[in-house]
């Protein structure tokens, strides 16, 4: 299946949905039209049996140059508060949807990533960047604070001093620095980026999908909980996961203890 919508391109191959921001001429800036399309694309892919992992990337030289300063800010502001709030709902809505997506998600940051781009960057469970990519909280450079969640993303992912420097200075950093500062898992040459992401995606495809969803949600949820609440949440989350998949863990134990066909410390059981 391949969809080439005006602002978002997408195709599914080998269990992976490759979704790409598709406004290369505008450096994949997020316009209201793009935000609406992205929600539709996420909707159409989320529960498909042939999709196990979603990769979010960008066409051309950008991942995303953030919000579209003309279409998202200037034009919606002429529509008054109702227009502004609608545009915010559309943007924040698909980022939230992505944060709690049914399938594991990977940001493949191929180029520019600014401001509002940090919303979907954080929404993706894992992130890999090209060394050549450039990241920036550029809001300060045009006179606003990093809104739309961007400041929150910075303090969630980076140590305090780095987050503060990044937000106040408006200096872009490259992929390597973004990896050192915690914005992405790894940075590697652009030419090697897709292959690395494909390898990670295939490893995820080999795991129990119910356990993957429970785990990705747990990592996000427990970050905000005190220890005892986290412990309780995790017990209940595992029990809830069992109600969707009661066989998986028994099979995982059986293949290790009885069959001795794999070692859980070193890889996944055979689904
Ligand atoms: N909003 C609207 N249009 C944009 C945006 C954007 N965020 N980013 C790029 N474009 C447009 C440009 O206006 C230009 O349009 P035109 O061809 O009609 O003149 C086209 O995309 C190409 O942009 P260039 O600046 O020529 O591309 P270049 O590769 O030289 O530079 C860069 C790329 C560094 C990303 C530059 O475009 C830029 O600084 N963009 C703005 C980044 C930014 O600060 N985004 C907002 C973050 S804050 C927030 O999201 C809330």
Which residue has its alpha carbon closest to ligand 1 atom 31?
27
Among 73-87, 199-213, 248-262, the minimum mean pLDDT is found in 248-262
End-to-end CA distance of the chain: 25
What are the tens digits of pLDDT across the range 90-118? 999 999 999 999 999 999 999 999 999 99
- ipTM of the complex, rounded to two decimals: 0.99
What is the 62 CA–ligand 1 centroid distance (Å)?
10
What is the 241 CA–ligand 1 centroid distance (Å)?
44
The position carrying tokens 């992205």 is 38
DSSP state of 224: T
Predicted local confidence at residue 254, as pLDDT:
87
Pseudo-torsion of CA 77, 27, 90, 1, nearest 10°?
150
What global pTM score does this model have? 0.95
Predicted local confidence at residue 243, as pLDDT:
85
Q: What Cα–Cα distance (Å) separates residue 174 from each residue in 119, 178, 179?
A: 18, 6, 9
What are the tens digits of pLDDT across the range 8-38? 999 999 999 999 999 999 999 999 999 999 9
Predicted local confidence at residue 249, as pLDDT:
83
Contact present, 139 and 115 (Cβ < 8 Å): yes
The closest of 271, 217, 256 to 240, measured between CA atoms, is 217
The position carrying tokens 């995303």 is 64
Range 195-210 average pLDDT: 97
pLDDT score of 247 more than 90? no
Q: What Cα–Cα distance (Å) separates residue 81 from each residue in 72, 119, 196, 266?
A: 13, 22, 44, 54
Atom of ligand 1 lying closest to residue 71 CA = 2
* Cβ of residue 70 lying under 6 Å from some atom of ligand 1: yes
What is the 237 CA–ligand 1 centroid distance (Å)?
43
Spatial CB neighbours of 61, under 8 Å, sequence gap ≥ 6? 24, 27, 110, 111, 112
The closest of 71, 93, 79 to 7, measured between CA atoms, is 71
Predicted local confidence at residue 248, as pLDDT:
86
Q: How confident is the model at residue 2 (pLDDT cuts 50, 70, 90)?
A: low
What is the 27 CA–ligand 1 centroid distance (Å)?
6
* Cβ of residue 29 lying under 6 Å from some atom of ligand 1: yes
* Cβ of residue 139 lying under 6 Å from some atom of ligand 1: yes
Which residue has its alpha carbon closest to ligand 1 atom 34?
112
Range 235-252 average pLDDT: 88
């Amino acid at each position: 299946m391949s969809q080439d919508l005006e602002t978002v391109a997408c195709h599914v191959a080998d269990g992976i949905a490759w979704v790409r921001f598709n406004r290369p001429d505008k450096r994949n800036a997020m316009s209201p039209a793009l935000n609406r399309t992205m929600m539709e694309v996420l909707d159409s892919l989320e529960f498909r049996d042939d999709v196990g992992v979603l990769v979010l990337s960008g066409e051309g030289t950008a991942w995303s140059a953030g919000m579209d300063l003309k279409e998202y800010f200037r034009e919606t502001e002429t529509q008054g508060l109702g227009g502004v709030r609608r545009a915010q709902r559309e943007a924040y809505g698909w980022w939230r949807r992505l944060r709690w997506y049914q399938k594991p998600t990977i940001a493949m940051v191929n180029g520019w990533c600014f401001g509002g781009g940090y919303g979907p960057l954080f929404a993706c469970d894992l992130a890999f960047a090209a060394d050549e990519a450039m990241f920036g909280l550029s809001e300060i450079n045009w006179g606003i604070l990093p809104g739309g969640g961007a400041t929150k993303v910075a303090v969630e992912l980076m140590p305090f001093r780095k987050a503060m420097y990044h937000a106040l200075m408006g200096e872009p950093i490259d992929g390597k620095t973004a990896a050192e500062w915690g914005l992405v898992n790894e940075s590697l040459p652009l030419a090697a980026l897709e292959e690395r992401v494909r390898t990670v995606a295939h490893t995820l495809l080999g795991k129990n999908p119910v356990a993957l969803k429970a785990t990705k949600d747990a990592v996000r949820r427990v970050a905000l909980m005190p220890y005892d609440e986290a412990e309780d949440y995790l017990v209940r989350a595992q029990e809830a996961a069992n109600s969707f998949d009661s066989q998986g863990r028994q099979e995982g134990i059986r293949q290790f203890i009885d069959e001795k066909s794999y070692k859980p410390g070193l890889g996944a059981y055979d689904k």
